[in-house]
Amino acid sequence: MTLTQLEYIVALDNHRHFVTAADSCNVSQPNLTTQVKKLEEEIGVKIFDRDTKPLQPTIAGNLILMKARKILKEVSELREFVLTEKESLEGEFTLGVIPTISPYLLPLFLPAFVKANPQTKLKIREMQTAEIIQELQRGTLDVGLLATPLEEKTIREIPLFYEPFLLYLPEAHPFLKRKHFIPAMLDPNQILVLDEGHCFRDQILSICDSKVSKNNFGFEFQSGSIESLMRLVDKGVGYTLVPEMALLDKKDNRLLRRFDTPEPVREISLAVTKNFTKNVLIQAIRKSILLSIPDRFQKEEQYKMVNWK
């Protein structure tokens, strides 16, 4: 027994004519006739008396048709409910954000998002990439905001923008005299990176064409803070790469240098599981983010995306 078969017998009861009923269902008359016959054979009851003209339901058929109409009505209401739920932004949703994005992007888009969507409550958690992937797959996280690509078959990625990496240098560094830079000029022995487990660390090492950080500073520093790396650079310890969003409020650009075109960038995306149905939530977050960032972040053709996995 299928919903289609129930739709066919209800249509046949409404029109009391096989051809007219088939036309109303946008199917051929033989197809509708075959399906009605299959249903009658399956349940072992004749629903229609074909000897009468016009066609009439049997006594048992009337009871079956009553049930069929009730079922189809409930299915229609269920579909309407699901559609409404998909289109609704009301409720609480969890958003996981990696630490190298969270302090810079959240203040840019979150106030506008909250104002535009007062019925939505975002529960935001700062998490590393591996944790976001794991919790998305477990169903304990609704949306991730992180660097991509992830290369996970169960995850759907919605690219947002492409954020350039800038070189952050100490005072009087020889590089400050140069106007042009390419990644090949970087020395892995002089560059400060984040602790293992941060995708930003892997991105920087990828730009430097190195798999390991081999600094010769005389100490080992494990940190998840870009700000901490910048403060060390301020004291003359090596140099580092910084995502441009971390520097949007920085008024003194003397210690910053851009790379030659194509600039190395990281792709920032929203991530959800492939069975996530709240596309309206994705659209709302995406809209707020894109309205809050510089236009140049969205021009993919100017950049060279960093592969970090």
On whether the CB atoms of residues 153 and 167 are closer than 8 A, the answer is: no
pLDDT tens string 99-128: 889 999 999 999 999 998 888 899 999 999
The SS3 of residue 30 is helix
Q: Residue 308: which pLDDT band, with cuts at 50, 70 and 90?
A: very low
Q: How many CB atoms lie within 10 A of CB 302?
A: 14
91-161+266-302 fold: D-Maltodextrin-Binding Protein; domain 2 (3.40.190)
CB burial of residue 122 (10 Å; 0-12, 13-18, 19+): middle
218 backbone φψ class: left, alpha, beta (φ>0; ψ -120 to 50): left
Unique residue bearing structure tokens 């430097």: 208
Task: Tell me the backbone φ, ψ of residue 24, rounded to 5 degrees.
Answer: -65, -25
Please count the CA atoms within 13 angstroms of the CA of 71 that sit on its side-chain side: 15
Structural domain spans, the chain: 3-87, 91-161+266-302, 163-264
Return the residue matching tokens 């390991």.
212
- Intrachain domains 3-87 and 163-264 with the same fold: no
CATH architecture of 163-264: 3-Layer(aba) Sandwich (3.40)
Cβ-contact 46, 58 below 8 angstroms: yes
Please report how many Cα atoms fall inside a 13 Å half-sphere around the Cα of residue 69, on the Cβ side: 10
| CA trace torsion 274, 308, 241, 156 (10° rounding) | -10
Q: What pLDDT is attached to residue 204? A: 64
The tens digit of pLDDT for each residue in 227-284 reads 888 888 888 888 888 889 888 877 778 888 888 888 888 899 999 998 888 888 898 9
pLDDT of 195 reads 61
Query: Over the Cα atoms of the chain, what is R_g?
Result: 30
Residue 53 confidence class, pLDDT cut points 50, 70, 90: confident
Residue 264 host element (H or E): strand 263-273
Q: Could you give the CA distance from residue 255 to residue 307 in angstroms, rounded to a whole number?
A: 26
CATH of 3-87, one of 1.10.10.10, 3.40.605.10, 3.40.190.10, 1.20.1250.20: 1.10.10.10
Total Cβ atoms within 10 A of residue 210: 16
Establish whether the linkage from the previous residue to 262 is cis, with ω within 30° of 0. yes
Contacts of 246 (CB under 8 A, 6+ apart): 100, 103, 104, 226, 227
